[in-house]
Structure 1
Amino acid sequence: MDRILEVYKDAIYDKADQRTESWFLVSSPWPPVIICISYILVCANCDKIMKNFQAMSLRPILVAYNFGLVILSVYMVYEFLVTSILSGYSVICQPVDYSDNPLAIRMAKVCWWYFFSKYIELADTIFFILRKKFNQVSFLHVYHHATMLINWWLAIKYVAGGNSFLIGVINSFIHVIMYSYYGIAAIGPHMQKYLWWKKYLTKLQLIQFFIMLVHSANILLGDCDFPKWISGLVVGYQVTLILLFGKFYFDSYRRKKD
């Protein structure tokens, strides 16, 4: 038992980024794990939870929420880009700067905001459930939201900066577009004529997964001073997203067209 505790302590705490240790939701793995499990259980039983309730409209809340996430995503894109440029980051291989250099701390902070945004985005699912849009609470939707909680806990805990910035900046940029789409759609049905570009959003999402896959595979197979186990996890995760989003794109657009 002592040996198990020693291994646990070494893996979770001793190898962690000491700069982020005391930051909200970072210290222990249990808060994200518990929230993740609770989220999955709520999704699995959403129809039972809402059985005795009427579907809600939530239009003003949805508009404010989606455009609020647009603003947050724009902020993160700006911080990722400016901090990486000022720090002289390499897109190909960038080790994590674990020092207390102001730019290194600035990058760690925007990584934390990106990590925390994944908790905010769980509201996507809550709004679907409250509106009784249970078909939207799909395996792809739940899988992506749940796994991002754990994936980015690992990132902010161990690699808050370095090569992680590329994933953050690309995904935040995609989210600027995505939540703009959802914000416009939430205004009302009369806005649908302006939303012809939905399928291109899915294409952009697939493109980002391919970029992240190639980028992390290059780090995994090359000589880069960045944790190989993190890069391996990213490679495996991007493969699952490409398969799931690819199936969604085919079912939603190609099959309907045929």
Structure 2
Amino acid sequence: MEAATSTSASVAMDMKHPWMVAEPWFMVTILGLYMYFVTSVGPLFMQFRKPYELKKLIIGHNVMQVLSCIYVLREVFYLSDNSIWMFWKCRDLGSSPEMVKRYFQLSYFLFWVKMSELLETVIFVLRKKQNQVSNLHIFHHFSTLTLIYMLIHYNQNGVAAYYVVFLNSVVHIIMYSYYLVTAVADKKVIRALTPIKKSITVIQMMQFCLILTQVGFQTVICGISKVVLVYFTFVITVMLYGFYDFYTRAYQSPPKGKGHASVE
């Protein structure tokens, strides 16, 4: 077990990564600009402007996200030999050049997918939907990008770490497909599909519960770096609480107004 862990860690450390993910500075710069725009300069820019429609951009973004998640699932199934759902198993990355190459190619791809998801908050700002730029929404996008960076550099559990990616991709296919339909459908269809929003939030909470379950198994059976364990568990716990809080306010409390934020 310890040998498997050290093999995965040493392979990751020996890799020469593209410059944009080799060091954290590019990610930190992008996240800094993101925070500055969505919380300060963006709302100020839109203060006396009419909201942009951006329908084509929204449709294109949703299509890209669905297709990206389908590709990610294909790669995860390949890397795990179609058994990624067995989350309790320790899965060393190994030393096969093909496996190592595809493992890191997928992690780089995920980095750019999570980077592209930052566009959603920008779209909210440009459409003057600042109420949807919640603390949970920003935390979600901020933290997921940092987790992918950790997947590239600090993963000691090999392919097992892609169980989280597997769950997230399934959830995102459902979620972005819903967003895509609502972006092109008429108001009658959108009203008919409204209950699906509640189901998506429930699915998201179930995802976080399954992730925390895997963390428990992986910690006991396989071992996880303490720093990674603490940060990862913190992020997932905050997300679970945030989505639960959103769920109770949006669907179980008496409605206080028309709109509520979509939180991913």
**Shorter-chain TM-score range:** 0.7 to 0.9
1:148 aligns with 2:147: no
1:175 aligns with 2:172: yes
Task: Tell me what 1:207 maps to.
Answer: 206
Task: Tell me what 2:238 maps to.
Answer: 240
1:82 aligns with 2:67: no
Could you tell me whether the CA contact under 8 Å between 1:98 and 1:104 is conserved in 2?
yes
Partner Cα separation in structure 1 for residue 75 and residue 226 of structure 2: 26
1:119 aligns with 2:115: yes
Tell me whether 105-114 or 120-129 shows the greater mean CA deviation: 105-114
1:62 aligns with 2:58: yes
Partner Cα separation in structure 1 for residue 114 and residue 200 of structure 2: 19
Could you tell me whether the CA contact under 8 Å between 1:15 and 1:158 is conserved in 2?
no
Partner Cα separation in structure 2 for residue 16 and residue 238 of structure 1: 26
CA shift at 1:149, angstroms?
A: 1.6
Partner Cα separation in structure 1 for residue 251 and residue 165 of structure 2: 28
Task: List gaps (5 residues or longer) in structure 2.
Answer: 1-8, 257-264
TM-score for both structures, normalised by structure 2: 0.83
Could you tell me whether the CA contact under 8 Å between 1:66 and 1:179 is conserved in 2?
yes
Tell me whether 73-82 or 199-208 shows the greater mean CA deviation: 73-82
Following TM superposition, the consecutive aligned residue runs of length 4 or more in structure 1 with deviations greater than 4 angstroms are 86-90
Task: Tell me what 1:132 maps to.
Answer: 128
Could you tell me whether the CA contact under 8 Å between 1:26 and 1:157 is conserved in 2?
no
1:229 to 227, 230, 234: 227
Name the SS of the counterpart of 1:97 in structure 2: coil
Deviations along 1:106-153, whole A, 9 cap, x unmatched?
122222222221101011111111111111111110111111121211
Task: Tell me what 2:24 maps to.
Answer: 29
CA shift at 1:20, angstroms?
A: 4.6
Paired residues in the alignment total 244
CA shift at 1:94, angstroms?
A: 2.4
TM-score for both structures, normalised by structure 1: 0.85
Judging changes above 3 Å, is the alpha-carbon distance between structure 1 residues 25 and 142 closer, same or farther for their aligned structure 2 residues?
same
Partner Cα separation in structure 1 for residue 11 and residue 154 of structure 2: 5
Deviations along 1:172-206, whole A, 9 cap, x unmatched?
11000011111111114423123431100000000
1:43 to 32, 38, 47: 38
CA shift at 1:68, angstroms?
A: 1.5
Task: Tell me what 2:249 maps to.
Answer: 251
Partner Cα separation in structure 2 for residue 31 and residue 19 of structure 1: 20
CA shift at 1:230, angstroms?
A: 1.9
Deviations along 1:214-233, whole A, 9 cap, x unmatched?
1112222x131543432332
Could you tell me whether the CA contact under 8 Å between 1:177 and 1:201 is conserved in 2?
yes
Judging changes above 3 Å, is the alpha-carbon distance between structure 1 residues 202 and 105 closer, same or farther for their aligned structure 2 residues?
same
CA shift at 1:42, angstroms?
A: 1.3
CA shift at 1:170, angstroms?
A: 0.6
Partner Cα separation in structure 2 for residue 114 and residue 205 of structure 1: 19
Judging changes above 3 Å, is the alpha-carbon distance between structure 1 residues 181 and 87 closer, same or farther for their aligned structure 2 residues?
closer
Partner Cα separation in structure 1 for residue 74 and residue 162 of structure 2: 12
Judging changes above 3 Å, is the alpha-carbon distance between structure 1 residues 243 and 145 closer, same or farther for their aligned structure 2 residues?
same
* Equivalent position amino acid for 1:21 in 2: K
Tell me whether 32-41 or 123-132 shows the greater mean CA deviation: 32-41
CA shift at 1:15, angstroms?
A: 7.0
Judging changes above 3 Å, is the alpha-carbon distance between structure 1 residues 83 and 252 closer, same or farther for their aligned structure 2 residues?
same
